[in-house]
Structure 1
Amino acid sequence: MIAVSVSKPIHILLVDDNPNNLKVLSEAIQGCGWKALMATDGESAIEQTEYARPDLILLDVMMAGIDGFETCRRLKTNPITQNIPVIFMTALADSTDKVTGLEIGAVDYITKPFQQEEVIARLKLHLKISHLTRTLEERVQNRTAELTQSLEQLQQTQLQMIQSEKMSTLGQMVAGIGHEINNPVGFIGGNISYIEEYVNNLLRLVSLQQQKLAQLDPEIQELVEEIDLEYLAEDLPKLLSSMRQGITRLKDISLSLRTFTRTDISSQVEFQIHQGIDSTLMLLKHRLKGNGDRPKIQVVTQYGELPAISCYPGQLNQVFMNIIANAIDAFDELDQNHSNQEITAYPNTITITTSVDSQQQTVTICIQDNGPGMLAEVQARIFEQSFTTKAVGKGTGLGLAISHQIIVEKHNGKVNCLSIPGEGTKFIITLPI
């Protein structure tokens, strides 16, 4: 018996149009404990090979109908049978015929008239080689699968580390900025009401003096004209009102920064999605404004009645930031290649829509732009780590990969991208409530 461990009996297909040859070979094969299958022509051999899947084929070269060469050629072009070893049996002594057979996929030749001992020895050798080959291929496939899984896990771990580091760094920076802003803002905001009161009192005093003093001193009259007292009294309250608006704006920015990061949250909490979107838009407001290369980007928000959802707010805000910032980048690139007239005719717009599915217990956030869109091959890879279409130094290829990880792995949600070249791109985020 062949020293090969197999879980099923070994089957050998004998293909020969000579019944005597089939009888002799069958007896020799069965004497080794193997199972013999038989065919008398090439067509039936091909058919039997497809459903029986023998471990090896002994194939006669000279047969009626299609010969052994053509039979072997068809077996080797069929994905189902191409890996089954074929040994030719032939009375041909021409080396050219042997080379032809080996070139089309045969593993060996047995010359007629054959010796049973030689046939059995060659069968054992090639069965062992076939078994070792399959075992090696299986090990390679298993190892490749293990390495692929390890690589994916490594990439996911890298993304998590990068995301954590980015959020940690951003949180520290925001905390510092917030501290620096809050102190002077608090001081100015707490005193501006007194300044307004003092200024109004002074202006009342000046007005009352002008009413009571019929004739002003020439020097005072000259100073009144120099400083344009009438305009000053009218404009000063407006300046103080503008200052109050500026302080309110600074407070809103500080609040948006704190809302955006939320790095102090280590577990999921109830959060209103609209607050996160609004804080993101506040931080991107300077990029949404027009510049010398393109006009202002319009943002349209169509908010549904969303409940608060359980999530990691800082991480979701990072997703919103990545997607909206990418849309702005796309507009910047698009408008460089269009005239002002074309840009004015089709204003840049980002539309953000939210809705709730009460039956599925999910919320949906749709962020859509009317930018340049993406080709299908680009769209298929946008969530891959390190894939980017931006110029060197302008993109790392991590933003959307991290976003995908945050939505899918951290929140058990879904994120899909739909894009049509020339019409725009839509990101659809679905999150469980």
Structure 2
Amino acid sequence: MNKSNHKITGNILIVDDIPENLKLLSQILKNAGHRVRAVNSGKMALTTIHVQVPDLILLDINMPEMDGYEVCEQLKANLKTQNIPVIFLSALDEVFNKVKAFYIGGVDYIIKPFHLEEVLIRIQNQLQINYSRRLIIKQNLMLEKKNQQLSTSATLLTKKSENLEQTLQELKQAQVQIIQNAKMAGLGQLAAGVAHEINNSINFINNNLGYANSYFQELLNLIKLYQEEYPSPNQKIQNYVEDIELDFLSDDLPQLISSMKNGAERIEKIVDSLGNFSRINQAEYKLVDIHQGIESTLALLKSRLEKTDNLLPVQIIKEYAQIPQIQCYPHQLNQVFLNLLNNAIDFLEIKRQKKIEQQLPTIWITTEVKNSELVMMTITDNGVGIDESIRERIFEPFFTTKTVGKGTGLGLSVSYQIIVEQHHGKLTCDSKVDEGATFMIEIPITNG
């Protein structure tokens, strides 16, 4: 990876089964100064990556034999390749596909057909983030080496070691902030783009459903008028009326249009939830209803809570108190809700797999006012719990008990920073193995 005149160029691997896409992207990136390798299958990608690790991967989703999701999962499960930024390229424009891409470790998602400027800017952003990450790691290694050298001087060891430890922690916090800012910026852009595109389509559907219903009623009235004026049509018309089940169509089509309208309204609510969860213009400090933030987060996690062939559903029990609006950064607070609820769902996975109906996987969410000055929120699950030996470390940056590729060790650390440093509150955990975990948030109602 090279950096000159504030522009970073790198070694980029393109994975796409369509030769035209490979040729176009290769030419675009070479013209921008990047070194490019191109392969047409997931298996070839994994092979060539182990020969030479790229700085960034542009990865198509729909490919034969091995799709882009599986390739990304294998990369994230390998210590050698888990830190390679993966940008998905796909014509799939559904929210589910985008959320899945980010969930398994993708850093960005570009929709085909793409625009030249957009591809180059998104690649440049991820190369910049990766360059910053490597620079921080290099600085960490230099600090650790310096620490070893200082060990030869007993008189200076204690003082300088403390200074280095403080610097190291500051660098780790800076790295967390860089990753978090990039992640939230990408999420905000994704939310805005998704909301805009879906709203345009839903508005078109909603606007035309009324006309469709009106036109149908007019046609139905015309048919009734024909039946009244010509009660005995010829046999051909009678046969056709029976074939299409005219009476059934007359009764069912209004219900069908009504169902379509209800579905469109539900999509609008989902888009509103996405906007409430991550809206760029909500970065300022303001008065908000935290219940709305919790509900928006639950709406985004709906697919993870539902029953599947292999998993029991997760029951959500809410006990909301009458609480005032609080002063906070809503964008950041919603991220805390997302991190804690995602962890709770992960803790419940074993219980969901056992499918014991008498032990239904459950998450309890409560809110209350404490001492008229604080709002307390708790998120409790009846999952596997957290061992006491590691409970004190769960808020440390990059500490995780999850398997490689499934956890970054940033979720709880970022949440702790947001609650304690940004909102002057408290974030604590109480847990016993096999009895579940409770995360408690305390935030001042006002910080004036």
Deviation at 1:138, TM superposition (A): 4.3
Query: Match for 2:187: what amino acid?
Result: L
The match for 1:303 is 320
Match of 1:419 in 2: 431
Offset at 1:161? 1.3
Distance (whole Å) between structure 2 residues aligned to residue 158 and residue 249 of structure 1 = 39
CA distance in 1, matches of 2:319, 2:229: 59
Q: Which residue in 1 is equivalent to 2:77? A: none
Please report how far the alpha carbon of residue 304 of structure 1 lies from its aligned counterpart in structure 2 after TM superposition: 0.9
Where in structure 2 are the equivalents of 1:231-270 lying within 5 Å? 231-270=248-287
- The one-letter amino acid of 1:374's match is I
The offset of 1:358, in angstroms, is 4.5
Q: Tell me the matched-pair count.
A: 294
Q: 1:138 to 1:217 in 2, by over 3 A?
A: farther
Select 2:180's aligned residue among 163, 172, 187.
163
Residue among 388, 395, 409 paired with 1:383: 395
Q: What one-letter code is carried by the residue in structure 2 that aligns with 1:185?
A: I
Cα offset for 1:328?
1.3
Deviation of 1:309 after TM superposition, in Å, equals 1.0
Is residue 216 of structure 1 aligned with residue 233 of structure 2? yes
Cα RMSD (Å) of the superposition? Answer: 1.6
Separation (CA, whole Å) in 2 of partners of 1:223 and 1:379: 73
- Cα distance in 2, alignment partners of residues 205 and 382 from structure 1: 70
Q: CA deviation at 1:420?
A: 1.3
Q: Map of 1:397-412 to 2, 5 A cutoff?
A: 397-412=409-424
Distance 2:375 2:156 in 1: 45
Find 1:353's aligned residue among 366, 371, 374. Answer: 366
Give per-residue Cα distances to partners, 1:169-227, cap 9 Å, x unaligned. 00111111111101111111122122222222222332332233221221211111111
Q: Does 1:140 align with 2:153?
A: no
Q: Could you say which residue in structure 2 is the equivalent of 1:335?
A: 352
CA–CA distance in 1 between the matches of 2:203 and 2:302? 23
Separation (CA, whole Å) in 1 of partners of 2:395 and 2:411: 9
Which aligned pairs between 1:13-92 and structure 2 lie closer than 5 A?
Answer: none
Instruction: Give the Cα–Cα distance (whole angstroms) in 2 for the partners of residues 217 and 144 of structure 1.
Output: 100
Match of 2:243?
Answer: 226
In structure 1, C-alpha distance between the alignment counterparts of 2:231 and 2:282, rounded to whole Å: 68
Measured against aligned partners, the alpha-carbon deviations of 1:243-288 in whole angstroms (never above 9, x if no partner) come to: 1111111111111111101222343111110110000000111111
For 1:292, give the aligned amino acid: D
CA distance in 2, matches of 1:229, 1:236: 10
Among candidates 188, 193, 198, match of residue 181 of structure 1: 198
CA apart distance, 1:164: 0.8
Tell me which residue corresponds to 1:365. 377
Distance 2:167 2:193 in 1: 39
Q: Where does 1:265-344 land on structure 2 (aligned, <5 Å)?
A: 265-336=282-353, 338=354, 340=355, 343-344=356-357
* Alignment counterpart, residue 212 of structure 2, candidates 195, 200, 205: 195
Share of identical aligned residues, percent? 45
In structure 1, runs of 5+ residues without a counterpart are 1-134
Structure 1 Cα separation of the partners of residues 434 and 297 of structure 2: 26
Whole-angstrom distance in 2 between the partners of 1:220 and 1:138: 106
Q: Distance in 2 between matches of 1:237 and 1:377?
A: 62
Q: Verify: 1:204 aligned to 2:216, yes or no.
A: no
Q: C-alpha displacement at 1:325, in angstroms?
A: 1.0
Question: Aligned AA for 2:352?
Answer: D
| TM-score using structure 1 length | 0.66
Tell me the distance in 1 between the aligned counterparts of 2:225 and 2:312.
50
Tell me, in whole angstroms, the C-alpha distance in 2 between the residues paired with 1:248 and 1:266.
27
CA distance in 2 between counterparts of 1:284 and 1:175 reads 18
Scaled by the length of structure 2, what TM-score is found? 0.63
1:420, 1:231 → 2: CA distance? 59
1:280-319 CA deviation, whole Å, 9 max, x = no partner?
A: 0001111111011112111111111121111111111011
Unaligned stretches of 5+ residues in structure 2: 1-151
The answer as to whether partners of 2:192 and 2:279 remain within 8 angstroms in 1 is: no
